[in-house]
Structure formats: C-alpha cells, structure tokens
Amino acid sequence: MNAIDLLIQDHKLVKKLLEELSATTERAVKKRAELLQRIEQELQIHTTLEEEILYPAIKEAGGKEEAKMYYEAKEEHRTVDSLVIPDLLHTETGTVEFAGRVKVMKELLEHHIEEEEGELLPTAKKLLGKDILEQLGQTMETQKKMLKSEQRAA
C-alpha cells in the first residue's frame, strides 16, 4: 500500500470514530471514554507516521510552499495533541461540556483532513512519485505495526 492510500484509510477510520463519538449522549459515559481513547491512539500513530516519514519527504523534495504546508500541518497536529485531547481527557464524559469539546475537535480534524487530502497529499503524489510513495508506504506500515504493538503492551 502506498503512503497516500494508508493515510486516507486512517482518515476514514478517524472520521468514523468521530461520528460515533459525536452521536453519543451524556448517558453514554463509558462508550464516550472508550471512543476517545481509541481516537487518541489512532491519532498518535497517524501523527507519528506523517511527521516522521511523509512530511519530511515532502519538505525535502519541495520548496518554500511545501515547507509552509509542513509547518502548518505540524502545528495543527500540535494543537490537537497538546491542547484538545488533553482537555477532553480531563473533562467528565457525561457532560455537555464534553460534547462541545468533541464538536470542536471533530471540526479541527475534519479541516485538517480536508487540507491534507486536498493539498498536501496531491503535492506529495506530484513531488515524490509512485515508487517513493510505495517505499514510504511500506515503511509506514512497518512503523504502524510496531507502534500498535507498543500501545497494546503499555
């Protein structure tokens, strides 16, 4: 699987999990906590793959415009990883406040996914070409398996 297909597959899974989480009510305390934990795990792995493998390849192959995309995408990751998820993890899942924070996280992630799929990934396809994307995809699949097994062991 090439790098772009792998990331789009991840995007679909995260969007599905966000839909499920958004559809819950205040009474679904346990389900909300489980879905949030799953989203956090998926995002950690996905972010690592992008920031350690794909983004540097795009930045290296591109110019000033690609460097701007690189830093913007990393900043969007940082916002979700450092601010949004920690806030959600410290918010009672049975509250309206939790639902509001989930809505904001969902909007941020959907915006990020749209930008990646609309700008960053097509740029990667153009700059890197099929062979490099295949190699990166293999590296990402290996890394993903390793990260998942580390999460299970933790």
Number of domains present in the structure of the chain: 1
Cα atoms in the Cβ-side hemisphere of radius 13 Å centred on 113: 19
Angle between helix 29-49 and 96-115 (nearest 10): 30
With tokens 């998820």, the residue in question is 85
Q: Record the pTM.
A: 0.93
Residues in the chain: 154
123 lies in which domain range? 3-153
- Give per-residue burial for 128-147: e unless 16+ CB within 10 Å, then b: beeeebeebbebbeeebeeb
What's 44's DSSP letter? H
Q: For the segment 37-73, what is each residue's pLDDT rounded down to a tens digit?
A: 999 999 999 999 999 999 999 999 999 999 999 999 9
CATH number for position 67: 1.20.120.520
Instruction: For 77-128, write each residue's pLDDT tens digit.
Output: 999 999 999 999 999 999 999 999 999 999 999 999 999 999 999 999 999 9
